[in-house]
Chain A
Amino acid sequence: SAVISQKPSRDICQRGTSLTIQCQVDSQVTMMFWYRQQPGQSLTLIATANQGSEATYESGFVIDKFPISRPNLTFSTLTVSNMSPEDSSIYLCSVQGFQETQYFGPGTRLLVL
C-alpha cells in the first residue's frame, strides 16, 4: 500500500479566506481522489484527479469552490475557496491501488470561524 501524507493536518480559518491542502504519495499513482467528511458523517467524494487532465467533479461540487491541481503522479492539491462555517470538515485524499482498493491519507481537519 502507498504511504500518503497531507498538509496541513489541521487549521482554523476565517470565513471568506481560502486554504490549500496538499497530498503527497510515496509512489506514482494514476488516480487520486478528494473526499469531504462533515462532522459525524460518512465520506463524500468531491472529485477525481488524474495527472494531465482536468479533475472530474461530483454532483454538488464545482471547480470555482474546490479547485484541484495534479501536477505530477505523486502530488495533488485541493483548495477550499471563500470559506464559510459550513466548510468545516475533514478533507481526505486517497489513491487508487490494486483491485479497486483505495488508500487514504490522514486527513486535514478544517474549522472555519
Chain B
Amino acid sequence: GNSVTQMEGPVTLSEEAFLTINCTYTATGYPSLFWYVQYPGEGLQLLLKATKADDKGSNKGFEATYRKETTSFHLEKGSVQVSDSAVYFCALSVFNDYKLSFGAGTTVTVRA
C-alpha cells in the first residue's frame, strides 16, 4: 500500500534559521508528491509538488526534491519567518488512484 512517514514535531526555530522536515514514502507505482501547509485556524494550502523523479518543487522560499533512489521528499527553507509557523503535511498520490495519503504532520513554530 501507499504510506508517508514524516518527521515528528513539534519543531521550534528562531527567525532566519534553516528548516528541514524529512519525508519518506512507500508507494505502488510512481507517485506524485506534495507538501501542504495548514496555518492556524485555516484549511490546507498546496505549498509545492513534484510529479516525477528529480523534479524540484518550490514556492515561497520552500523547496523539495523528488528522490526516487531514497524514496524521499524533504522540505527545506533557508531562512524562516514568524509567518511560516504552521503545520506541514507531506502527501502522495498515485496515478489513477486519486486518493491522497498524508503523513502525520509536523508543527513548526518560529520565534522572533
A-to-B contact residues, CB < 8 Å: 1, 6, 31, 33, 41-43, 45, 48, 92, 94, 96, 99-107
| Count class of interface residues, chain B | 20 to 34
Q: Which residues of B contact A48 (CB under 8 A)?
A: 98-99
Q: Tell me the B residues contacting A by CB distance below 8 Å.
A: 32, 34, 36, 42-46, 49, 51, 89, 93-95, 98-100, 102-105
CA distance A94 to B46 in the complex (A): 11
Tell me the total A-B contact number using a CB cutoff of 8 A: 52
CA gap between A92 and B104 in the complex, in Å: 16
Other than A94-B44, A102-B100, A103-B46, give 15 A-B pairs with Cβ distance below 8 A: A31-B98, A33-B99, A42-B89, A42-B102, A42-B103, A42-B104, A43-B89, A43-B100, A43-B102, A100-B94, A101-B32, A101-B46, A102-B46, A106-B43, A107-B43
